[in-house]
Amino acid sequence: MNAGGSCVSDFAGQEAISHLRWLYMSVEKGGPTGPDNKKNSLEKSEPQGGKIRGTIKHWNAEKGFGFLRLSDGREVFCHVSELCEHIRPPRGQAPVLDSPVNVKKVNQRDRGLAAEEVECGACAAPEQWELQPSGPEVFGVREMRPVCVNKPNVSSYSSTIPREEVERANEPFKLAKRKETLWNWSNIEDEFFREFGEPQGIRVEDENKIVLSYSHGEKIVSADSAMNSKHWEVAPSGQWKEEGESIKAEFIFPDISGAKVWRTVASLYINPSLYKEFELLLESAQQEVLAKVKEKILPPADIAEKRFNDFLSEDYRKKEIRKLRDDIHSLQAPGESFISSSTHKAQLYEPLSPDERRGDFYYEGSVTTHSLTVGARKKEQPHWSGDYRGGKSFVVPYSEYTGAPKETAEQLRDKLIAEKRQQLKSEFDHAKKMNPPSPDARLYTLDPEEWSKQYEDRWDEMQKTIEDQWKIEDAQLLGETKQSYEQYENVAKDLLAAREEVEQAERLARVSRVPLEYNARPDWGNVGSDTVEKMQEQITALHAYAVKLNELIPNAVRTREQEFQTEKAVREEEERQKKAKEKSEIEQFGASGKLLDIAKSLAAEAEQKLGLDRAQALFQDTSNAPYGRARRQADIEEALGKDMQVEVQSFYNFSRARDVDAILYAVTRILGGADVSVETSQPDKSSPESPKSEPATPEVKIEELPRLTSPDKKGWWLHELPNGSRHSDKLNKIDKIAYDAGERINIRCPSCPDNPLVGYVQK
C-alpha cells in the first residue's frame, strides 16, 4: 500500500514524463508505433506459445488506467477492467507498482498498444482440484464435491477430477440419502425395518399416533399406516359403527398398548359391498354388519331411478344439459343465418419429424376463426357495429388454420343441431354406465346380466319420459319464439305501410305545391334495430302525420287558388291601366308627327343611297332578322352615316331605345310599300324586341294538356307558341324532385299572358 500511495502522490511528474515519451516514440520514425516499427510492433504483440510477462509501471488511480512495461521493453496501455480480480484495486486506488503480471493479448489501437486479460502470478498457476465434503450431514455422511484449492470462485464444472472418481467417493452419501427418504416417508414398509431394524422403544401419543424411538431420532407413524405395514399383529375389538355411506370397525394392536384404528369394512353407497377387512371381524360382528348392509341394498330399478335423479340434479350436469338445450333451440329459431370470420394472431404448433431432435416447433401466425350466426335480424340502415342485430353465434369446427367452410349456412345449421343432440345423448349414455355389483352370494341373489337388464330398462324408461317432457317444453318455447318473430315482421310491415302513406301524402303536397314544414316528419324508424314497442310508437306518429297532411293539402290548395285569383285580378287591372296609359302616350307622341317625318326621311335617304332591295334587307323586321336589334342599328348607322340616337333625341317620356325601335319599324313598313299613318306608326309597347304581338294561349283542360319535350338535366322545359316562337322556364326544386320520381308535372308558362297551363312533363 505504501508503494501504491507513493505512486499516487508522485504521479504528476511521472505521468507527464511517461506521456511525453510515449507521444514522442509514437510520432518519431523509430518509435514503437512509428511508421517504420508499426509492423514489428504488431508482430511482437502476438505472444508466441503463451503469455507475455511484464510489470505495472505507471497508474492513474482517479481515471482508472495506467501503463505496463513488457519483458521486451514495450510500454502498453492498460485499463483497470482488464486486471484480474486478485490485483484489481478498489475504485479510486492504484494497484501495487512493479508487481509482476502476465498479459494474454496485446492489440493495436488508434493511439497505440493496449493490453487485454492481464493476470497475476496466482492466476497463471495451474488449477489444483481436491474432493472436499460440503453440505449438511445425512446420517453422518456429507457429499464430496470438487474444489479448486489455489483459485477461488472457480466453478466445479471446470474440475479435472474424473466423474467416476467423484461418484465412487459419493457412494456412502447416496446410501445415506436413500435412508433419509425411507425415514421421511409417511408410510412404513418391510424395507424400513430392514434398514433401521426394530425400534428401541414404542409409545402412543394418541389413539392413532405411534412414536418409534431409534438412536438417531424418533419416527411418528399413524396407526392406519402401522396396520398396512403388517409388521404388528392386529385384532378386532368387536365394535363397529355406521359412518356416512360406510361401516367402520375398530382394530387394536396387542403388541402396542393403547393403539387402535377404525377401518372401513363395508360400503353402503348404491351397490353395497364388503371390504377385505370384513374377514377380520368376529363372527357375531360379521352377522350384524351383513344384516345392516342388506338393509341398504336396493333393487336395480330403484338404483337406476336414484342415479338418474342425481344426474339431473347435479349442478355441473344441469348447466351442461341446459346449455345444450338452449343451443338447439337457438339453432332452430327463425331469422337470418350467415357465416362470418375473424383473423387474429396466435402461437401455432407444428410437430417435427422423429429425425429432428429439437422437439416440437412453435411459431407466431394468423388464425382465421369462422362462426355461424342464426336467428339474427338484418338492419335496415347500416351501422358500424354490423349489419345484423341479435341472434347467437356458434364457432364452426375447422381443422385448418385458414380457409372457409364449404357448407352453406343452412347446412351448417343442420350439422350443428345434429351434433348438439348427439352431445346431449352422450351425456345420458355416460351417466347411464354402471358396473353390476360383485357376485357376492352373501348379499345379492340376481346374476349380473339380469341385474344390468333391470337397471337399463328403468333408466331408459325415465330417460324417455324426461325427453318427451323436454320436447313439449322446447316446442312451446320455439312456438313462442316464432310468434314473437312473426309479430316483429308484422309490425315491420305496418311501419313500411305507414311510411308509404306519408310518402304519398308528401308527394301529393309537392305536386300541389304545398310547402312542408322543415323537419316536421316523425322518426322514420330502423327495421331490424328498433324494438316492437318503439316501431308501434313510430307507426302511430307517422299515421297521424299523414292524416294531418291529407287535411292540410286541400285547404292550402284552396287558399292558394284564392290568392292566385286575387293576384290575377290585380295584374289584369294593372295591365289594363298600363295599356291605357301607353295608348294615351302613343296618341300624344304620334300627334306631333315627328316620328313619321323622321321615318320618311330615313326611308327616302336609304332608298336613294342603297337602292330599294338593299334598303329593305337593311331595315327588315327584327323578328325575322338573323341577328339582333343592336347589330341592325349599327349596320344602318354605318350604311347611312347617321347616329340614330342623335336623330331621335327624346320624344315625350319614351326612352331613346324605344324611339329608335319605333322609327326602324316605321321605315321597314314604308320601304315595304305600306301606308303608315300616325296612329299605326308605333309598334306594340308590350314587346319592343318584336313588332308582332304574340297571341294569348287559350286555357285548356288538364286531361287535354299536350305532353311537352322532356326537360334537360337542370330542369329547363320548352313549349312552342302557335306563331312559331318558343317559351322556356326551369322547374323549381320540388317539381324537379317529383319529376325525377316519375310523377306528372303540369306546366304553367309565366311568359304567356295570364300564366296559362300549356302542357305537362313526365319521365
Q: Is the pLDDT of residue 2 over 60?
A: no
Q: Which of 44-58, 79-93, 743-757 has the lowest average pLDDT?
A: 44-58
Q: Is the pLDDT of residue 641 over 60?
A: yes
Q: Is the pLDDT of residue 125 over 80?
A: no
Rounded to two decimals, the pTM is 0.50
- d(CA 542, CA 498) in angstroms, rounded, equals 6
Amino acid code (one letter) for 297: I
Q: Is the pLDDT of residue 407 over 60?
A: yes
The residue with greater pLDDT, 668 or 280, is 280
Across 279-303, average pLDDT:
91
Across 537-553, average pLDDT:
90
Q: Is the pLDDT of residue 147 over 60?
A: yes
Q: If you ran DSSP here, which 8-state letter would residue 238 be given?
A: E
Instruction: Give residue-wise pLDDT tens across range 234-258.
Output: 999 989 999 999 999 999 999 898 8
Terminal CA-to-CA distance of the chain, rounded, Å?
113
- d(CA 349, CA 259) in angstroms, rounded, equals 58
Amino acid code (one letter) for 760: Y
- d(CA 372, CA 496) in angstroms, rounded, equals 29
Overall size of the chain counted in residues: 763
Contact yes or no for 481/513 (Cβ under 8 A): no
pLDDT value at residue 249: 94
Strands (E), 200-289: 201-206, 209-214, 217-222, 235-243, 246-252, 260-267, 273-274
- d(CA 663, CA 670) in angstroms, rounded, equals 10
The residue with greater pLDDT, 568 or 681, is 568
- d(CA 74, CA 78) in angstroms, rounded, equals 13
Element (H, E) at 761: strand 757-761
pLDDT value at residue 715: 84
> In this structure, what C-alpha cell is assigned to residue 22?
510515449
Q: Is the pLDDT of residue 24 over 60?
A: no
Mean pLDDT of the chain: 79
pLDDT band of 488, cuts 50, 70, 90: very high
- d(CA 751, CA 749) in angstroms, rounded, equals 5
Q: Is the pLDDT of residue 598 over 50?
A: yes
pLDDT value at residue 46: 44
Q: Is the pLDDT of residue 368 over 90?
A: no
Q: Which of 83-87, 355-359, 568-572, 660-664 has the lowest average pLDDT?
A: 355-359
- d(CA 491, CA 542) in angstroms, rounded, equals 13
Instruction: Give residue-wise pLDDT tens across range 455-473.
Output: 999 999 999 999 999 999 9
Q: Is the pLDDT of residue 13 over 80?
A: no
Contact yes or no for 247/264 (Cβ under 8 A): yes
User: What 3-state DSSP class applies to 113?
Assistant: strand
pLDDT value at residue 468: 94
Across 536-549, average pLDDT:
92
pLDDT value at residue 350: 65
Instruction: Give residue-wise pLDDT tens across range 100-119.
Output: 888 888 988 888 899 988 88
pLDDT band of 730, cuts 50, 70, 90: confident
pLDDT value at residue 732: 80
Q: Which of 57-61, 199-203, 653-657, 758-762 has the lowest average pLDDT?
A: 653-657
What distances in angstroms separate CA 426 from CA 262, 319, 321, 454, 459, one per listed residue? 41, 15, 11, 21, 14
Contact yes or no for 602/594 (Cβ under 8 A): no
Q: Is the pLDDT of residue 709 over 60?
A: yes
The residue with greater pLDDT, 353 or 728, is 728
Element (H, E) at 693: none
Contact yes or no for 94/55 (Cβ under 8 A): no
Contact yes or no for 619/605 (Cβ under 8 A): no
Q: Is the pLDDT of residue 444 over 70?
A: yes
- d(CA 543, CA 105) in angstroms, rounded, equals 100
The residue with greater pLDDT, 151 or 210, is 210
In percent, how much of the chain has pLDDT > 70?
A: 79
Q: Which of 56-60, 185-189, 722-726 has the lowest average pLDDT?
A: 722-726
Largest alpha-carbon pair distance within the chain?
170
Amino acid code (one letter) for 701: K
pLDDT band of 388, cuts 50, 70, 90: confident
Angle (nearest 5°) at CA 305 between 299 and 306: 90
- Residue carrying the nine cell digits 370384513: 278
Contact yes or no for 251/227 (Cβ under 8 A): yes
Own/partner pairs for 466-469, CB < 8 Å, 24+ apart?
466/312
Across 291-308, average pLDDT:
90
- d(CA 171, CA 654) in angstroms, rounded, equals 142
- d(CA 470, CA 474) in angstroms, rounded, equals 6
Nearest-CA neighbor of 643 among 668, 619, 660, 667? Answer: 660
Nearest-CA neighbor of 52 among 31, 79, 82, 73? Answer: 73
- d(CA 91, CA 364) in angstroms, rounded, equals 48
The residue with greater pLDDT, 144 or 386, is 144
CB atoms within 10 A of CB 125: 11
Strand partners, 58: 67
Across 367-394, average pLDDT:
84
- d(CA 221, CA 226) in angstroms, rounded, equals 7
User: What 3-state DSSP class applies to 356?
Assistant: coil
Q: Is the pLDDT of residue 45 over 60?
A: no
Phi/psi region, residue 76 (left: phi>0; alpha: psi -120 to 50; beta: rest), is beta
Contact yes or no for 604/619 (Cβ under 8 A): no
pLDDT band of 20, cuts 50, 70, 90: very low
Nearest-CA neighbor of 697 among 687, 688, 689, 706? Answer: 706
Q: Is the pLDDT of residue 61 over 60?
A: yes
User: What 3-state DSSP class applies to 337?
Assistant: strand
Q: Which residues contact 367 (CB under 8 A, 6 or more apart)?
A: 343, 344, 345, 346, 348, 401, 402
CB atoms within 10 A of CB 71: 11
Q: Is the pLDDT of residue 585 over 80?
A: no
The residue with greater pLDDT, 168 or 759, is 168
Across 187-208, average pLDDT:
89
pLDDT band of 448, cuts 50, 70, 90: confident
- d(CA 731, CA 710) in angstroms, rounded, equals 11
